[in-house]
Chains A and B, each alone.
Chain A
Amino acid sequence: MKYLKNVVTLELNTEKCNGCRMCTIVCPHGVFAMNNGKSAIKDRDSCMECGACMKNCVPGAISVRPGVGCASAIILSALTGKEIACG
Chain B
Amino acid sequence: MFGTDELVSRIKSAGLENIVNHKIIIVPQLGAPGIAAHKVKQLSGFKVIYGPVRAEDIPEFMKNNMVATEQMRRAGFGFIDRFTVMLAEFAATIKILVFIAALMVIITKIVTGNIRINMNLFLNISAGFVAGSVLGPVLLPWLPGKAFSVKGFFCGVLVYLVLTVSGLSGTNYLLYSGWLLVISVVSSFLLMNFTGASTYTSLSGVIKEMKTAVPLQAIGIVAGVVLVIMGFFK
* Interface of A toward B, CB cutoff 8 Å: 1-5, 7-9, 22, 25-30, 46-52, 55-56, 58, 65-75, 86
**What B residues does A27 contact at CB under 8 A?**
73
B196 lies within 8 A of A86 (CB): yes
A86 to B199, CA, bound (A): 14
A47 to B35, CA, bound (A): 18
Contacts of B201 in A (CB 8 A): 3, 48, 69
Q: Bound state CA distance, A46 and B211, in angstroms?
A: 21
Closest Cβ–Cβ distance, residue B159 to chain A (whole Å)? 20
A8 touches B214 (CB 8 A): no
A4 near B147: Cβ-Cβ < 8 Å: yes
Residue B77 is within 8 A (CB to CB) of chain A in the complex: yes
Q: Which residues of B from 189 to 234 have beta carbons under 8 Å from A? A: 189, 192-193, 195-196, 198-210, 214
Number of residues from B at the complex interface, CB < 8 A = 40
Q: CB-CB < 8 A to A48: which residues of B? A: 199-202
B33 adjacent to A66 (CB under 8 Å): yes
Residues of B near A8 (CB, < 8 A) are: 202, 204-205
Contacts of B29 in A (CB 8 A): 25-26, 28
Residue pairs across A and B with Cβ atoms less than 8 A apart, 13 shown, are A1-B141, A4-B146, A4-B208, A9-B204, A22-B37, A30-B74, A48-B199, A49-B204, A56-B38, A71-B192, A71-B195, A74-B206, A75-B214
Bound-state Cα–Cα, A30 to B200, Å? 12
B53 at the interface (CB under 8 A from A): yes
- In the assembled complex, the Cα of A46 lies from the Cα of B198 at a distance in Å of 13
Q: A3-B205, A25-B73, A30-B70 are in contact. Are A55 and B146 (CB under 8 A)?
A: no
**Are B36 and A69 interface neighbours, CB within 8 A?**
no
- Report the nearest B residue to A53, measured CB to CB: B32
